[in-house]
Amino acid sequence: MSDILHAEVMDNASEETKRQFEYIEKAKGYVADLAKELGRTPKACVVTFGCQMNARDSEKLIGILSKIGYEITESEEADFVIYNTCTVRDNADQRVFGRLGFVGGIKKKNPHMKIALCGCMMQEQSAIEKIQKSYRHVDLIFGTHNIFKFAELICTAFESDRMIIDIWKDTDKIVEDLPIVRKYPFKSGINIMFGCNNFCTYCIVPYVRGRERSRSPRDIIREIEYLANDGVKEIMLLGQNVNSYGRGLPEDEQISFAELLTEVCKVDGIKRVRFMTSHPKDLSDDLIKVIAENEKVARHIHLPLQSGSDEILKKMNRHYTKESYLNLVEKIRKTIPDVSLTTDIIVGFPGETDGDVDETIDVVRKAKFDNAFTFIYSKRTGTPAASWEQVPEEVSKPNFDRLLKVVQETAKEQALRFEGQTHRVLVEEINEQDEKLVTGRMSGNTLVHFPGDKSLIGSFVDVRLDECHGFYYTGTMV
């Protein structure tokens, strides 16, 4: 657990950062008053839905909440609860509404409690309208573009009894150097870019996360150096499409993702570098070379396929074909033989036939994915595909099931290829089921459970992979 603010950073903080620190001071006063009233330290809970980007944003929320005096708890029986929402598929939305109903019951018993909502789902007008109508107990709503204003918004919520709603449509602002509390002391995500310009026809992300903006490479490296000094050994560079990093940067800062990755690997103390997510259309030969030649870069590429059918790929606006995707996979596997490849696949996209799914299954067999996240298409209002003729569940569900079967077979076969080998893992935690075991993550992202104790957490150790259990291994430290 650490705090990114330090004097040196404050010296060159932007005007906006300074303004927010003034609100942090003000909010501290409000929380201190509440503590007096309650006769104890007020508690805050952050509930996160969605992807790694949201997980990182939640570390920023916790950073502010800790700084202003809240004790952080996992329980929603708290004095301040915030839901950091996702809207990539409808079931993510439904889960949030379910939680809101539940937490409303808690608030009835504790009227001073504050409930807040932020994240991707809040960028949708229909969600806001539903909350205004049916969830009047919510105190504060903001979106993805103004999360840096969290301290200011907390102050406003303390000053008013009305529901505060502050949603921005888009922003070109990137506000640096606000407090962050990391979930893990030894590893961290780092935003290298925000937003997305790809407009895949099924996807809501460009509408809720706005246009693509790359952070300055200097700011990224400075943050990573700070993290390394603070004990971080593994980092994950985060962006919706990291391969297009650098577009739109000023001329004197022009740099490609492959070059950025090379620079990041040079930071002392950083032992392993991951990145997420790659778009197949932008993954360059240079990047493959940098990964192959630099052993600090994790042997893992997440390369969303979405579909193996040329016709569906075209309708999805993906800008690659089954053949070009498979060629890319072949090139990657040839240049980086020990790489793990994972993917995302959607079944039931408008117009998809059984024959299209056969094509997808064919790619899964040929690409030999180490793992694949499979999703049933979810209609997102506002995206082009939402207005096209939808595939009935009677068609998509059986197709989903037969795809999943092949995905699981392939993943198991792939995992078996490492059995008996010794791999370096970063020990992340005590095993949830058995406290005599610890869990480590391999470079390829697979987990291995082996005998050990908490003194190992945060260190790299070599582990023999004794037995493959499908998606994970059990092993022995050597």
Chain contacts with ligand SF4 (rule: CB under 6 A): 50-51, 53-54, 86-88, 120, 205, 208-209
* Binding partner at 347 among ligand SF4, ligand 5AD, none, C-beta below 5 to 8 Å by kind: none
Look at residue 372 and give its three-state secondary structure.
strand
Nearest to 349 by CA among 316, 383, 397: 316
Token pair 């303390």 in the structure block, residue: 158
Residue 143 · residue 118 · CB < 8 Å: yes
Closest approach of ligand 5AD to the CB of residue 67, in Å: 31
309 binds, among ligand SF4, ligand 5AD, none (CB under 5 to 8 A by kind): none
Retrieve residue 181's tokens.
């509390």
Q: Which residue is nearest to ligand 5AD (CB)?
A: 344
Taking the C-alpha atoms of residue 237 and residue 217, their distance in angstroms, rounded to an integer, is: 12
- Beta carbon nearer to ligand 5AD, 102 or 199: 199
8 A C-beta contact, residue 470 and residue 411: yes
- Residue 128 is which amino acid? I
From ligand 5AD, ligand SF4, none, interface partner of 378 (C-beta below 5 to 8 A by class): ligand 5AD
In the bound state with ligand SF4, the residue whose beta carbon lies nearer, of 81 and 120, is: 120
Only one residue has tokens 């606000």, namely 178
Q: Which does 202 bind (CB under 5 to 8 A by kind): ligand 5AD, ligand SF4, none?
A: ligand 5AD
| Contact partner at residue 53 from ligand 5AD, ligand SF4, none, CB < 5 to 8 Å by partner kind | ligand SF4
Q: Smallest distance from the beta carbon of 266 to ligand 5AD, in angstroms?
A: 31
**CA separation (Å) from 187 to 28, 248, 290, 422?**
29, 29, 22, 22
Spatial separation of the C-alpha atoms in residues 246 and 114, rounded to whole Å: 39
121 vs 204: CA distance, rounded Å = 10
C-beta of 54: minimal distance to ligand SF4 in Å? Answer: 4
How many distinct helices (H) and strands (E) make up the chain?
14, 19
Residue nearest to ligand SF4 (CB): 50
- Cα 238 from Cα 189, distance rounded (Å): 6
Residue 86 interacts with, from ligand SF4, ligand 5AD, none (CB under 5-8 Å by kind): ligand SF4
Nearer to ligand SF4, 54 or 294 (CB): 54
- What backbone torsions phi and psi does residue 147 show, to the nearest 5 degrees? -60, -25
CB nearer ligand SF4, residue 375 or residue 460: 375
User: Least distance in Å: CB of 375 to ligand 5AD?
Assistant: 4
Smallest separation, CB 51 to ligand 5AD (Å): 6
| Shortest spacing between CB 407 and ligand 5AD, in angstroms | 13
CA atoms within 13 A on the CB side of 357: 27
Whole-number minimum distance, CB 15 to ligand SF4, in Å?
Answer: 28
Q: CB nearer to ligand SF4: give 209 or 322.
A: 209
283 binds, among ligand SF4, ligand 5AD, none (CB under 5 to 8 A by kind): none
Smaller CB separation from ligand 5AD, 58 or 201: 201
Q: Are strands 447-451 and 437-442 parallel, antiparallel or unpaired?
A: antiparallel
Straight-line distance from the first to the last Cα atom of the chain, in angstroms, rounded to the nearest whole number: 29
| Smallest separation, CB 209 to ligand 5AD (Å) | 12
Cα–Cα nearest to 285, from 346, 336, 245, 246: 336
Using only C-alpha atoms, the chain has a radius of gyration, in whole angstroms, of 23
Say if residue 467 is exposed, middle or buried (CB neighbours under 10 Å; 0-12, 13-18, 19+).
Answer: exposed
The entry of ligand 5AD, ligand SF4, none near residue 238 (CB within 5 to 8 angstroms by kind) is none
C-alpha closest to that of 207 among 125, 128, 318: 125
Query: How far apart, in whole angstroms, are the C-alpha atoms of residue 150 and residue 147?
Result: 5
Q: List the single partner that 300 binds among ligand SF4, ligand 5AD, none, CB under 5 to 8 Å by kind.
A: none
Report, in Å, the least distance between residue 475 CB and ligand SF4: 32
**SS3 assignment, position 344:** strand
Extended beta strands in 269-339, E state: 272-276, 300-302
- The CB-of-285 to ligand 5AD minimum distance in angstroms stands at 23
* Residue 87: contacted member of ligand SF4, ligand 5AD, none (CB under 5 to 8 Å, by partner type): ligand SF4
Output 120 or 427, the one with its CB closest to ligand SF4: 120
Nearer to ligand SF4, 123 or 410 (CB): 123
Q: 46 and 61 in contact (C-beta within 8 Å)?
A: yes
**Interface residue list for ligand 5AD (CB under 6 A):** 88-89, 202-203, 304, 306, 344, 346, 375, 377-378, 380
| Of residues 203 and 235, the one with the C-beta less far from ligand 5AD | 203
Nearer of residues 69 and 304 to ligand 5AD, judged by Cβ = 304
301 binds, among ligand SF4, ligand 5AD, none (CB under 5 to 8 A by kind): none
Smallest gap from Cβ 85 to ligand SF4, in A, equals: 7
- CB of 214 or CB of 306, closer to ligand 5AD: 306
Q: Residues 317, 327: contact at Cβ < 8 Å?
A: no
User: Tokens 């969303």 sit at which residue?
Assistant: 304
